[in-house]
A = this chain, B = another copy of it.
Amino acid sequence: MSGQSLLEQLIDALRCLPGVGPKSAQRMALHLLERERDGGLHLAEILERAMQEIGRCQQCRDLTEHEVCAICSNPARDRSLLCVVESPVDVLALEQATAYRGLYFVLLGRLSPLDGVGPAELGLDQLERRLQERPPEELIIATNPTVEGEATAYYVQRMAQNLGIPVSVIAHGVPLGGELEYTDQTTLAHAFGSRRAVAPQAD
């Protein structure tokens, strides 16, 4: 390319990563060249394969290099539970944090009409067919507690309830280890409004 040196091309190319500006890109390029050639080569190889091979799971829309992802094709997973999340990272987070053994449905986004993201873009028609053909015993909604996430959750909830499927939503409130003093007002108001009765302790 033109008169650019390979080092300059590398610095430019690294800027396609989110949150990486000119200075970070320089630092990354130098670090790889001076101390991490093997890591850099490994990254190049995995990156090329990932960009070419990773598509969406036909069943749950999660990112995968196979036709059907590892979770959907795992016979040990409980097919009577379906959890709706916004993004593949949410699947990773739930898999790491919880003992959930059911299946997922990945929207890959959230309803945002102003950005042109409607039900079709999120595969909600596919979700509806899935709910009709193989209705789960419980549909767990785990979208992010943002305005758009809540709107998406409401849409999914109505769709499932119209089909007579029991729906649950993960709890929103003060995070464990958090302090009321530093919790934002919206969260605190929600947590207060969603308080639940505590049964007397037997001892």
Contact = CB atoms under 8 A, between A and B. Distances in A.
Task: Count the copies.
Answer: 2
A70 B7 CA distance: 11
Contact of A53 (B6, B63, B65, B87): B6
28 contacts: A3-B70, A5-B70, A6-B46, A6-B49, A6-B54, A7-B50, A7-B63, A7-B88, A8-B92, A9-B50, A10-B47, A16-B42, A17-B17, A17-B31, A18-B27, A26-B89, A27-B89, A30-B88, A32-B50, A40-B47, A40-B50, A40-B51, A43-B44, A43-B47, A44-B44, A44-B47, A44-B48, A47-B47
Interface of A: 3, 5-10, 13-14, 16-19, 24, 26-34, 36-37, 39-54, 63-65, 69-70, 87-89, 92, 108
